Structure 1
Amino acid sequence: MLNRAAKPLVKLVDRYLPDPYVLVLLLTLIVFLAAMLTQDKTPLAVIDYWGQGFWGLLSFSMQMLLVLVCGFMLASTPLVKRALDSTAALARSPAQAILMVTLVSLAASWLNWGFGLVVGALFAKALARSVRVDYRLLVASAYSGFLIWHGGLAGSIPLTIATEGHFAQAQIGIIDTSQTIFSGFNLLLVLVLVLVVPLINWAMLPKAEDSVYVDPRLLAETDTRVMERQRPADYLEHSRLLAMPVGLAGLGYLGYYFLVQGGGLNLNIVNALFLFLAIVLHQTPRSLLTSLEQAIKGGAGIVIQFPFYAGIMAVMVQSGLAQSMSAAFVSLASADSLPFWSFISAGLVNLFVPSGGGQWAVQAPVMLPAAQALGADVPRVAMAVAWGDAWTNLIQPFWALPVLAIAGLRARDIMGYCLMQLLITGGIIAAALSWF
């Protein structure tokens, strides 16, 4: 039944969802008009907000590009390719492939969102080389695991309010992760989603005649171990004496960071781990550079689109549009229903401000006073905003770009399946926030 229900959604999205670049242009114009019509801002003021914020995500854009590039370089090493292929060979049927890639992505995303995006996409490609399965649903299943990241160890909102000196400390104090990430209702919600999300993907498996397959030869990773030596400089490029000490030094630092300093996972650490492992496992500079040349081709979408989202976020925040949207939902709430309305409003705002930390900065000044005035549970309201941010990522191409680049697909190839996940899991999360 779910397969039949998903089919029209897949066709609808395939027909009408534009390229993510076109979508970000449409969102830009929508935000311009909304800011002028609802916030009484002049066109010049809106353009000024947009222009000043346009380059606000340059650091983050580079981090996301490195997620793609470093993950690809690591996956192209012989050792990792063999490990992925050996694990993928355990899947004997399309159903097993869908369940496996979803569970791996969920586990990896709960640990760290950047890690989950790359691992899920790479494992999907390995499975497609081993099992004849609908490639669109396989990649969509890999991306669907991203749903639980904000309820996991790297959730930016619960980690922010647990950190000394956060901007709302005077209002709410320090809220320990035992009340957010490791609270009973959040752990129960994560457990339910870990059980339900793979089953939804499995239930959407199309029949063989409706499936879209990919030739495994097209997914084969090119051997990067180039051996030509024609110039004296070639011997340096093929030397293990240069790359190995640097790579091992990087891994040594990470060991010190984790074991001595007690550091945790963040995007920079994940990228460093991928990069230094890739340097060591490629062994020579030339092998790594050959892999890099292949990896960088998929990063065009990240490079061109992220500045536009930075501009959209600036208009949303500076014009007061995001705060007005949040306040509109809060006006409908009671103490018991505020987490639900916080979740819904966060899901809507996330379509225009696809950044967990940035979204909290926008919504906290509205949600926290409302929670205190109504006597609502502040940690639950904060997690409602976090889950709303994670929920609509399912249909926000901003976060899917690295996955799509690794898999070689377009947004419309997977978003129909993600839309079905959005509809079902939205009800589950809303119920959990209201009644668990």
Structure 2
Amino acid sequence: MLRFLSRPAVKLVERYLPDPYIFVLLLTLIAAIAAIAVERQTPLAVMRFWGDGFWNLLTFSMQMLLVLITGFMLANTPPVKRFLALVAGKAKNPGSAIILVTLVSLMASWINWGFGLVVGALFAKELARQIRVDYRLLIASAYSGFVVWHGGLAGSIPLTIATEDHFTVEMIGVIGTSETIFSFFNLALLACLFVSVPLVNRLMLPKESESVFVDPEILQDDQDIHIPINRPADHLENSQILAWLVGIPGLLFLLDHFLLRGGGLNLNVVNFLFLFLAIVLHRTPRRLLNSLHEAIKGGAGIVLQFPFYAGIMAIMVQSGLAETLSEGFVSFATEKTLPFWSFISAGVVNLFVPSGGGQWAVQAPVMLPAAEALGADIPRVAMAVAWGDAWTNLLQPFWALPVLGIAGLKAKDIMGFCLIQLFITGAIIAIGLTYF
């Protein structure tokens, strides 16, 4: 049945979903028109919101670009390639390959969202080298695991409200992760998704006659080609000692961060870890630079599109449109249904404000007073916003850009499969938030 349903979804998306750059241009126009029509903002004001906010994601854009590049370089090191090949060898047929890559992506995304995006895509490429399987579904499966990130260890909303001086502390106090990330309802939701997401992906596997395969030779790299030494400078570029003199202190810094200072994982730490592991495991600067040359090719979408999303976010927040959307959804909620409507509203807002922390800053002033007035469970409402933010990432190509860059695909190649997951995971999360 799911194979039957996925076929028209895939064809529909392949035919009508534009390139993510066109998608972000359309979202820009929609947000601008809505701000003028709904919030009564002047065109000049909207243009100023957009222009002033256009570069607000520069730090995050660089972080995301480094997620792609450092993860790619790490995966191209000989030890990691051997490990990925060993794990991929556990898959004996296309169906087991789909299940395995989904489980790896789910677990990696639960640990850290940046880690999940890169690991899932790189592992999928290794599977494609060994197993003849529909490459579109394989990459879609790797991306679908991302849906659990906001219910995991790096969820920005639960970690924010667990911080001593967060911006809503006077309203709700400090809410520990035992009431959010490690609560029964959240763990039950995760358990359901760890079962259903791999199963749905497996059931969508097309027949061989309808599948799209990739030539394994295309996925190979040239890292093992002998590098000649013809100049004195070549000795430095191929010096293992030089690489290790810098790389090993970087890894020691991470040991200090985790063991002695009790630090945790965040995007900067993940990038630092990927980079210095790549420096050490590539063994020479020249091998690292060759890998960098290959990795950078997939980063064009991030460089071009993320500033436009920053502009959209500025329009949504400063015009009041995001707050109006949230208020509209909760206006008819009850104590029992508020988590559900919070989830739905967060999913809609996420299409225009694809940032967990930024979205919470917009929606918390609406959701939290509503929860207090209705007597609803505040940790559950907060997690409903978190899950809504993660859920529609299955439709929003913003977060898929690093995965697509690594895989060498376009959004239209995977979003048809993700659309089926959107409806199924949405139903599971909505039921869990309401009844678990």
Q: Fold-level match, TM-score > 0.5?
A: yes
Equivalent residue number for residue 292 of structure 1: 292
Task: Work out the CA distance in 1 between the residues paired with 2:293 and 2:193.
Answer: 38
Counterpart AA for 1:428: I
The letter for the 2-side match of 1:371 is: A
Partner of 1:311: 311
**C-alpha distance in 1 between matches for 2:124 and 2:230:** 38
Residue pairs, 1:75-94, within 5 angstroms: 75-94=75-94
> 2:230 maps to what in 1?
230
| Matched position secondary structure for 1:376 | coil
Could you list the runs of 4 or more consecutive aligned residues of structure 1 that deviate by over 6 angstroms after TM superposition?
A: none
Q: Deviations over 1:146-189 (max 9, x none)?
A: 00000000000000000011000010000000000000000010
Q: Name the structure 1 match of 2:197.
A: 197
2:247 partner amino acid: G
CA distance in 1, matches of 2:175, 2:15: 45
Deviations 1:310-329 (A, max 9, x none): 00000000000000000000
Aligned residue runs from structure 1 range 64-213, under 5 A: 64-213=64-213
User: How far apart in 2 are the matches of 1:364 and 1:247?
Assistant: 42
- How far does residue 211 in structure 1 lie from its aligned partner after superposition? 0.4
- Residues 76, 224 of structure 1: 8 Å contact kept: no
CA–CA separation in structure 1 for the residues paired with 2:134 and 2:240: 41
Trace 1:241-280 onto structure 2 (pairs within 5 A): 241-280=241-280
Following superposition, the deviation at residue 142 of structure 1 comes to 0.3
Deviations 1:57-98 (A, max 9, x none): 000000000000000100111111111111111111000000
1:224 is displaced (CA, Å) by 5.5
Contact 1:150 1:390 in 2 (8 A): yes
Superposed counterparts of 1:408-427, under 5 Å: 408-427=408-427
CA distance in structure 1 between the aligned counterparts of 2:225 and 2:39, rounded to whole angstroms: 58
CA distance in 1, matches of 2:297, 2:217: 19
Shift of 1:221: 2.2
The one-letter code sitting in structure 1 at the alignment partner of 2:373 is A
Q: Deviations over 1:101-123 (max 9, x none)?
A: 00000000000000000000000
Within 5 A, what are the aligned runs for 1:338-349? 338-349=338-349
Q: In the alignment, residue 384 of structure 1 is paired with which amino acid?
A: A
Within 2, Cα distance between the matches of 1:432 and 1:87?
Answer: 33
In the TM superposition, what whole-angstrom CA distance separates every residue of 1:232-287 from its partner, at most 9, and x where no partner exists?
11111111121111110000000111111111111111111100000000111111
Please state whether the residue corresponding to 2:181 is helix, strand or coil: coil
Is the contact between residue 76 and residue 222 of structure 1 (CA under 8 Å) also seen in structure 2?
no
Number of residue equivalences: 436
Equivalent positions of 1:47-66 (< 5 A) are: 47-66=47-66
Three-state SS of the structure 2 residue aligned to 1:397 is: coil
Q: Which runs of 5+ in 2 are unaligned?
A: none
1 CA distance for matches of 2:41 and 2:266? 37
Q: Give per-residue Cα distances to partners, 1:24-64, cap 9 Å, x unaligned.
A: 00000000000000000000000000011000000000000
Q: TM-score, normalised by structure 2?
A: 0.99
Report how far residue 228 of structure 1 moved.
1.6
Q: Percentage identity across aligned positions?
A: 69
Are residues 1:363 and 2:343 paired?
Answer: no
Aligned residue in 1 for 2:386: 386
Written as runs of structure 1 = structure 2, the 5 A alignment for 1:369-380 is 369-380=369-380
Deviation at 1:22, TM superposition (A): 0.5
Query: Displacement, 1:227?
Result: 2.2
CA distance in 1, matches of 2:363, 2:310: 17
Note the aligned Cα RMSD (angstroms): 0.7
Q: Does the 8 Å CA contact 1:110/1:149 hold for their aligned counterparts?
A: yes
Where do residues 397-412 of structure 1 align in structure 2 (5 Å cutoff)?
397-412=397-412
Moved more, 409-418 or 77-86: 77-86
Relative to structure 1, the CA distance from residue 288 to residue 225 in structure 2 (aligned partners, 3 Å threshold; closer, same or farther) is: farther
The AA in structure 2 aligned to 1:432 is G
Aligned counterparts of 1:228 and 1:318: Cα–Cα separation in 2: 57
